[in-house]
Amino acid sequence: MWKHKTSDSIIYIDLERKLTMKPTIFADNSSTPFLSGIFDTIFYDPPHGWGEGHPFYKYPDAESFKKKWQGYGEIPRYYGWDKYKNQQALLAHLWRAQKEFFRILKNDGVLWLKWNVQNVSLHRVLMIFEDWTAMMQLSIKAPSQTAGKSQTYWLCLTKEKRETTQTALS
Q: What is the CATH number of the domain that holds 110?
A: 3.40.50.150
User: Is residue 3 a part of any domain in this protein?
Assistant: no
User: Is residue 66 a part of any domain in this protein?
Assistant: no
User: Is residue 169 a part of any domain in this protein?
Assistant: no
The predicted model scores a pTM of: 0.79
DSSP-assigned letter for residue 12: -
What one-letter code names the amino acid at 158? T
Residue pLDDT tens, the chain, 170 long:
566 677 888 899 988 887 777 889 999 999 999 999 999 999 999 988 787 655 545 555 666 666 665 655 555 566 677 788 889 999 999 999 999 999 999 999 999 999 989 889 999 999 999 999 999 999 987 665 555 667 889 999 999 875 544 455 54
User: Is residue 106 a part of any domain in this protein?
Assistant: yes
- So what's the pLDDT on residue 6? 77
User: Is residue 170 a part of any domain in this protein?
Assistant: no
**What is the C-alpha end-to-end distance of the chain, expressed in Å?**
53
CB–CB of 15/83 below 8 Å? yes
- So what's the pLDDT on residue 2? 60
Task: Dump the DSSP string for 40-82.
Answer: EEEEE---S--TT-SGGGG--SHHHHHHHSTT--S------GG
- So what's the pLDDT on residue 30? 95
Q: How many separate helices (H) and strands (E) can be counted in the chain? A: 3, 6
User: Is residue 101 a part of any domain in this protein?
Assistant: yes
Q: Report the domain count for the chain.
A: 1
User: Counting every residue, how long is the chain?
Assistant: 170
- Whole domain around residue 140: which residue ranges? 13-50+86-159
DSSP-assigned letter for residue 28: B
Cα 104 from Cα 117, distance rounded (Å):
27
User: Is residue 38 a part of any domain in this protein?
Assistant: yes
- The residues near 146 (Cβ < 8 Å, ≥ 6 apart) are 116, 140, 152
